[in-house]
Structure 1
Amino acid sequence: MAITLVIVLLVIGSLLLHYFSVWWFTPLASNWSSIDFTVDITVWITGVVFVLVNLFLAFAIFRFRSRPGHKAHYEPENKKLEGWLVALTSVGIAAMLAPGLYVWAQFVQPPEHATEVEAFGQQWHWRFRLPGADGQLGKVDTALISEQNPLGIVPSDPAGTDDVIILSKELVLELDQPVKMLLRSADVLHNFTVPQFRVKMDLVPGMVSTLWFTPTQTGQFDVLCEELCGSGHFAMRSKVVVKAGSEYQQWLAQQQTFGQSQTVAEADIRLGQAQYQLCAACHGAAGEGNQQMHAPALAGQSRWYLRRQLLHYQQGIRGSAEGDQFGAQMAAMANTVADPAMLNHLLAYIASLPPATTKTTDGDVQRGQKLYRSCASCHGAAAGGSYAMNAPKLAGVDAWYLQRQLNYFKQRVRGSHPDDFYGAQMSLIAQSLQSEQDIADVVAYISSLQP
């Protein structure tokens, strides 16, 4: 009797959990309502079968329970019953599979007038590429990926010159315009998913996979990686913003093409040295840093990272958070090199300075080495940084500055701005350092790694 009651309560509980559940689909924002319909069919069929089978099981246990004077009847097979079960099961499976196959046939055949957009996955971030005026995307080769050419576009292919390069975390698409996504990976298996669009497809290294959809609602939607791609997988996120025609065209006109990105003015170190005299007041004449002025060492740091941080200061992404008083000071100074040419000169001069050396700090270096293992996935085993991972060099960075920034990341002083995508990733990673001792130990280990 008890097991009968448990089974009935299991059925009732399952129905209530489904009815009152918060785990529903996100609101649909694309043309794929047919995908929702196929899922609904599957849920209804499996749900009805689940209820009927379990209620029959409960009935059979109760009806044919052991009682004095009753003897079980042994019947090894029943061809009539088996026939009905095979027929009903076949109908149920066909009812679930047929709609899915029909929708899949549509899913793999994008409209001829669909706009091709490339999503490029790399541990652990997204980049995007749109066709230029010629309506074609140029050829690519992952062997060509570099700081100057992050998508590996073949420079000799004229079709790639006007390709629109989106290196930020935000992709803008046009409302009601079909989009064919070309999915490409630089390293490992990733997955492109936008829950509101009902699309999901793997990015397989060495090949280009595709999917298509038509955005039907304006707004901002999450791009997720739903394939375990390494220790930073959980932070591999981006955004899709859908805008109406005029707004979309205005945004598109402001984006940089591949050809424009390859045109870099030659930097003048002498002009950069003159500009650096303003920075030297805090960061030191040789870029060695000054703790008393709360200014970290600049010498030896990657040029691309310094550029990104100065731009973030200029754009208010850094230095605007509550509690970041030193960042606010730096934001004012960063605006003195708002001119791109002058910024190039300054970065060229800083790059010419010999790397700074750091002093070892108090902390358990051996324990810090163990804690650093998760950091090494991005920053490298020797803390040399990695452009491919968007991870700056840590070796040679002042210990006091590393400690302060790790605490800032933990407290969301850094990484809280909606446009600070990589800062948000680092803020999540920093939570793994649960105590001040953890921070002290990992910083002690990093300080032992000289550049």
Structure 2
Amino acid sequence: MIVALVMVFVVAASLLFHFLSPWRATPIASNWGFIDDTLKLTFWVTTAGFVAVILFMAYCLYRFRHEAGRRSTYEPENRKLEYTLGGLTTLAVILLLAPGLAVWGQFITPPGNAAQIEAVGAQWSWSFRLAGKDQRFGATDVRNIADDNPLGISRADPHGQDDVVVTNGELHLPLNQPVKVLLRSIDVLHDFYVPQIRAKMDLVPGMETYFWFTPTKTGQFEILCVAYCGLGHPEMRGLLFVDSESDYKKWLAGQKSFAQLSGSKGERQQRASNQ
């Protein structure tokens, strides 16, 4: 009897904790409300299962508690019960999986007008690359990485000379413009995540991954690495600024291309060596 009451209390306390808890997801700032909706549906399905199973167990503990003179009976099978439980389980699995598969299909299919940027993770910082006027990225290779070429852009590829390189960990994007984020890691496994965007993806050494989103609110948002990548993992943070079109153009005009960065650094190194 006491155990049954404790189980009922656990169900009630769990529901109260959820509905009265002050901890909620951060306000969304992208088009991925679908992900929030899918998570909410998953919560309601699993909550219904949790409540039903625990209360049923509590009922059984009370209804079939020991009483003097009562004897148990053996029932090898019950087709009605089996069909009911099998049907409910199948329905729950469909509700859990089908929406997720539909959202995943959208998640991996960026729109044709999505702008492309590259986010590069390295222990323990974020760097970014935007295509220049030719709208094409230059080739990269980790063997090209040097002090004046942190992203390993090929100097022999003319398409890379006008690429905009951002190494201060700050990424600016225009409002309401779909963007496909190409992800590359220089060393170990990282994960690009902005809580308000909802979308995230691993950066896997030796391959290029991607995800896409459309920023829907201007503001400043923190970029996190949510894959443990070494001792400096907690410090691997960047900033995402979602700007109006005019503010974004002002920021972009102040950035330097790969050719300008490598040239200026090369000149400084040459002057230092001459001295």
Is the helix fraction higher in 1 or 2? 1
SS of the aligned residue for 2:200 comes to strand
Instruction: Give distance in 1, aligned partners of 2:217 and 2:86.
Output: 44
Instruction: Give distance in 1, aligned partners of 2:110 and 2:23.
Output: 30
Partner of 1:277: none
Structure 2 spans left out of the alignment, 5+ residues: none
Partner of 1:361: none
Moved over 6 A (4+): none
Partner of 2:175: 175
Please report how far the alpha carbon of residue 41 of structure 1 lies from its aligned counterpart in structure 2 after TM superposition. Answer: 0.6
Partner of 1:238: 238
Partner of 1:65: 65
**Which of the pair has more CA radius of gyration?**
1
Instruction: Give distance in 1, aligned partners of 2:98 and 2:190.
Output: 28
Task: Kindly report which structure 2 residues correspond to 1:363-442, keeping only aligned pairs within 5 A, or say none.
Answer: none
Task: Kindly report which structure 2 residues correspond to 1:175-194, keeping only aligned pairs within 5 A, or say none.
Answer: 175-194=175-194
Partner of 1:202: 202
1:245 is aligned with what amino acid? E
1:163-205 deviation per Cα after TM superposition (whole angstroms, max 9, x unaligned) = 1111012101110000000000001111111111111111110
Partner of 1:84: 84
Please report how far the alpha carbon of residue 266 of structure 1 lies from its aligned counterpart in structure 2 after TM superposition. Answer: 3.7
1:53 is aligned with what amino acid? V
Please report how far the alpha carbon of residue 14 of structure 1 lies from its aligned counterpart in structure 2 after TM superposition. Answer: 0.6
TM, length-normalised to structure 2: 0.96
Partner of 1:281: none
Instruction: Give distance in 2, aligned partners of 1:55 and 1:255.
Output: 61
Please report how far the alpha carbon of residue 23 of structure 1 lies from its aligned counterpart in structure 2 after TM superposition. Answer: 3.2
Task: Kindly report which structure 2 residues correspond to 1:32-51, keeping only aligned pairs within 5 A, or say none.
Answer: 32-51=32-51
SS of the aligned residue for 2:128 comes to strand
Task: Kindly report which structure 2 residues correspond to 1:56-135, keeping only aligned pairs within 5 A, or say none.
Answer: 56-135=56-135
2:7 counterpart of 1:4: no
SS of the aligned residue for 1:113 comes to coil
Partner of 1:152: 152
RCO comparison, higher one (Cα < 8 Å, 6+): 2
SS of the aligned residue for 2:263 comes to coil
Partner of 1:211: 211
Q: State percent identity of aligned pairs.
A: 50
1:5 is aligned with what amino acid? L
Task: Kindly report which structure 2 residues correspond to 1:280-319, keeping only aligned pairs within 5 A, or say none.
Answer: none
Partner of 1:137: 137
2:255 is aligned with what amino acid? Q
Instruction: Give distance in 1, aligned partners of 2:203 and 2:79.
Output: 48
Instruction: Give distance in 2, aligned partners of 1:120 and 1:101.
Output: 28
Please report how far the alpha carbon of residue 218 of structure 1 lies from its aligned counterpart in structure 2 after TM superposition. Answer: 0.3
TM, length-normalised to structure 1: 0.59
Please report how far the alpha carbon of residue 22 of structure 1 lies from its aligned counterpart in structure 2 after TM superposition. Answer: 3.3
Instruction: Give distance in 2, aligned partners of 1:22 and 1:77.
Output: 47
1:144 is aligned with what amino acid? N
Please report how far the alpha carbon of residue 69 of structure 1 lies from its aligned counterpart in structure 2 after TM superposition. Answer: 1.6
Is the strand fraction higher in 1 or 2? 2
1:83 is aligned with what amino acid? Y
1:42 is aligned with what amino acid? T
1:248 is aligned with what amino acid? Y
